A and B are shown apart, each in its own frame.
Chain A
Amino acid sequence: MTRKSLYFDVQKCVGCYACAVACMDQNDTDLLGGDLMFRSVMHVENMEAGEVRIAHVSTACMHCDNAECLDACPSRALRRDPESGAVIVRRELCIGCHACAMACPFGIPRFGGDGTIQKCDGCYARTRFGYAPACADICPTGALSYLDINEAMAAKQARFGASLV
């Protein structure tokens, strides 16, 4: 089976937050109870050729191939799911040492009211049954998609090629 991955196209994102809401729904995130959002949406303004250019970026755990958080975790609360390749959490093993936060260059690991890590698990409960992660499933513009890695690379290369002509 070819491996699939989340793919984000910044040019298609309109910053609607549907991905963040779907993520909270999927994970039963209780914000009032102290749970934290796994996915965030940022709005970025840049000046380009004298004009303001607004972009929207939806981010969560990147599930890095060379995930330093996995090396940093002294309790193996963070693990690689062998089927999906996602970096998943076993919160019952987390000691709340924050070593993963130190290791992650993207500022992803956060700690809930009980002091243990909370982060995106790549919706591995969905992907193992062939469903896309909730964020990609709901995205109305296709900015977030769940693609075969080769398809994702081809799409990226096509965009790069188009930018050259």
Chain B
Amino acid sequence: MERGIPERETAAGHRLPEQVVVVGFGAAGTSAVMALREAGFEGSIVVVTDGDPNPYSPVLTSYYVSGRIEREHCFIWSDLDLSTLVDDMHAHSGIVSIDAGAHEVTLVDGSRIGYSKLLIATGAHPVAPGFPETCRYCPLMLRTMEDADLLRRALLSPSCKRVLVSGTSMVGLKALEACLDRGVVVVLLGRSRHIMRSAARPLVAKRFEELLVERGVRLRLAQSVSDVDDETVSAGCTVTFDCGDSEHFDEVILAQGTKPNLGFTCEGLEIDQGLSVDEFRRTNLPDVYAAGDVAQAVDVGTGERRVIGLWQNAVQQGRCAGRAMAAELLDLANPLPFPGSLASNTIHVRDILVASAGSLEEGEGRSLEMSKADDGTMRVFVYEGRGDDRRLVGINILATTSSKGGSNLLDCEIGKYRRAILNACLK
């Protein structure tokens, strides 16, 4: 099926195309569609998504797996009836190519759709480095609702008693928490000496590790998988680590990072780690925008361009793209640019809360200040410069919600510190 681009006639008699195609319907795609409509765009919006027409929040999947929330709770926009905002929904689909010159995308079924503006918000997919592809045992992951359904079913199985979680970033730790909630013995595997390599200073990570061990987690840090045997066991697999140890696990959960979903061709589109975008989420090609986990934009904390796979970032980037597209389509004044994101995380595992914002790396011209309160709350401040020029560039705090007031003290502080870092970076 071939679709032409609907047109509208302006007061001056010019005919302008008026169709926006949004590829991907997660946080960024949804926010862009809402922003387009809020800005007054009444033209056609076409959504192409590999998922369901009713989008969900991937952040909630671990809570569903753990049994803390129901499945329907993950579909956070259910009450809004997003279908009223979209004219044409292509669910369980995707694009294979973009012809930027002809302003057209080709879908997996071969149909073509014209656009006046195109937003790529295809998100990212988990990667599984180090796990043998020839292995018959299929490791579990935690990204999509389908992943969550599989993982939940696996953890509910009476035969599932020991799980290996490979990966110590946010997703790995939330998967670990789900395992603890389900009463399963967990071994946490990480290649680095400490967990949360990019989101915690070593001292904070070390304390986090101690608290996890106190809560029954076994750690295998600075180790990796060297072999997986699924043939001599009736279920699960036996994992051999590079230190020579072998252990049997009923399930293995891989949480070793993600890569942007770029499974389409587009001549001339600049791709680095993701799709390079400017402060209005425009790629290097005319009328092609990108937002969310697929877009590589400025990290205002470091000034470098990188993909920041965070919920808030995806929402703000999607909204920025939606407003920017609407401004051009409706001849409105330029919206406020979105200068970039500041890497910031809160990770909550049981009663342990770790927050970080900005750049935590040491380096020339940088200094650290650390403190530990009687209740165990740890604070690490990272400064750059000296004397009057000294500015806060990073903060890392650990608190436990079980300590008296610990979490709420942290809650009072972290937003103020984040804003101070952001303001200093944007100066």
Query: Which A residues contact B (CB, under 8 angstroms)?
Result: 36, 68, 71-72, 74-76, 93, 95-99, 101-111, 115
Contact = CB atoms under 8 A, between A and B. Distances in A.
A98 B411 contact: yes
A95 B408 CA distance: 16
A36 B408 contact: yes
A105 B414 CA distance: 8
Interface in B371-419: 401, 407-408, 410-416, 418-419
Contact of B60 (A95, A101, A110, A111): A95
A17 to B, nearest CB: 19
Contacts of B416: 105-107
A47 B345 CA distance: 38
Given A74-B311, A99-B311, A99-B346, A105 B418 contact: yes
A102 B414 contact: yes
A65 B408 CA distance: 25
A47 B322 CA distance: 48
Interface in B337-376: 344-346, 348, 353, 355, 357
A102 to B, nearest CB: 5
Nearest to B78: A76
A76 B27 CA distance: 12
Contacts of B346: 97-99, 101-102
A46 to B, nearest CB: 19
A102 B312 CA distance: 11
A102 B68 contact: no
Q: Could you tell me the dominant secondary structure of chain A's interface residues?
A: loop
Nearest to A72: B312
Contacts, number: 85
A96 B69 CA distance: 12
B355 A75 contact: no
Nearest 7 pairs between A and B by C-beta? A74-B59, A105-B419, A101-B411, A107-B412, A104-B415, A98-B346, A72-B312
A102 B348 CA distance: 13
B426 to A, nearest CB: 13
B115 interface: no
Contact of A98 (B73, B315, B319, B348): B348
B408 A111 contact: yes
Contact of B411 (A71, A93, A109): A109
A60 B240 CA distance: 55
A70 B414 CA distance: 16
B415 A107 contact: yes
A91 B110 CA distance: 45
A47 B63 CA distance: 51
B264 interface: no
Contacts of A36: 408
